[in-house]
Amino acid sequence: MNREEIKRLLEDIKNEKISLEEGISEIENLPYKDIGYALVDNHRELRVGYPEVIYCAGKTVEQVVGIVEYMLKKECNILATRADEKIYDAVLNLCSDAKYNKHGRIITIKRKEIDIPNSFIAVVTAGTSDIPVAEEAAATAEFFGNKVERIFDVGVAGIHRLFGKLEIIKNAKVVVVVAGMEGALASVVAGLIDKPVIAVPTSVGYGANFGGLSALLTMLNSCSSGVSVVNIDNGFGAGYLASMINKL
């Protein structure tokens, strides 16, 4: 509620356009719905421009279904991440047009159209094993209304593969680079283009990758500028941020 709105509200009270009780209620009526185990954030789309997203890990099937059920009533688009097939089956029961991106473990339900800008997001992976995280990023960005180019398996072990795809990458408005093991691809890409690079370290690898720590540190210490980093395996976060930038 900004200054203008406060002013208008107070004037309305003063002018008795609305009752004192209504004024109090207006201020008290905070924009979320309490469903016991969750406070669904209805206000979110207004506030940050994106609808609430359901992070399924650590929630029971019943909890996810309950949240979806409530959101369906509000007729908003729904995105659920880290959803396994059991959750998808339960959601499907509730809503027959729910879609499931198996690689990216993402459920989407579409209720209203979103504008799609002409510019596109490039989602690039170092290897084939990084694809699930990349799919989470790509599917998230698509859900929020973006065109996405997928460019997979162009890691630095055979860097000529990257150069073969460089023109596409250069034309993107923002680039998501997904890489495990040593995660060097983000630095190399950022050194070759003039667009923001969102680096997603993955837990792909073994031994001294320490569950993705190696790629994470690589990306944080990038000697190329224009790189920022999200959590290990956080395809969703990268897709969300890429969408935000692509729509600027």
Q: Is 94 in the site for a second copy (CB under 8 A)?
A: no
**Ranges within 101-130 binding a second copy (CB under 8 A):** 126-130
Q: Judged by CB under 8 A, does residue 93 bind a second copy?
A: no
CA atoms within 13 A on the CB side of 106: 27
Site string for a second copy, 43-82 (x = CB under 8 A): xx--xxxx-xx-x-xxx---x-------------------
State residue 79 phi and psi, 5-degree precision.
Answer: -130, 125
Query: Which of 52, 57, 124, 65 shows the shortest CA–CA distance to 92?
Result: 65
Residues 6+ apart with CB under 8 A from 203: 180, 209, 211, 212, 232, 233
Amino acid letter, residue 235: G
Stretch that binds a second copy, among 68-76, 83-91, 110-118, 222-230 (CB under 8 A): 222-230
CB atoms within 10 A of CB 248: 8
Query: Binding to a second copy by residue 131, rule CB under 8 A?
Result: yes
DSSP letter, residue 16: T
For a second copy, the closer of residues 93 and 128 by Cβ is 128
What's the closest the beta carbon of residue 112 comes to a second copy, in angstroms?
18
Per CB under 8 A, the list member of 92, 110, 161, 168 interacting with a second copy is: 161
- 215 near a second copy, rule: CB under 8 A: yes
Residue type, 54: I
Scan residues 174-203 and list those touching a second copy (CB under 8 A): 174, 180-184, 187-188, 190-196, 198, 201, 203
Q: Which of 97, 155, 168, 177 touches a second copy by CB under 8 A?
A: 155
Q: Does the protein bind a second copy through residue 154 (CB under 8 A)?
A: yes
If binding is defined by CB under 8 A, does position 207 make contact with a second copy? yes
On whether the CB atoms of residues 237 and 50 are closer than 8 A, the answer is no
CB count, 10 Å around CB of 90? 17
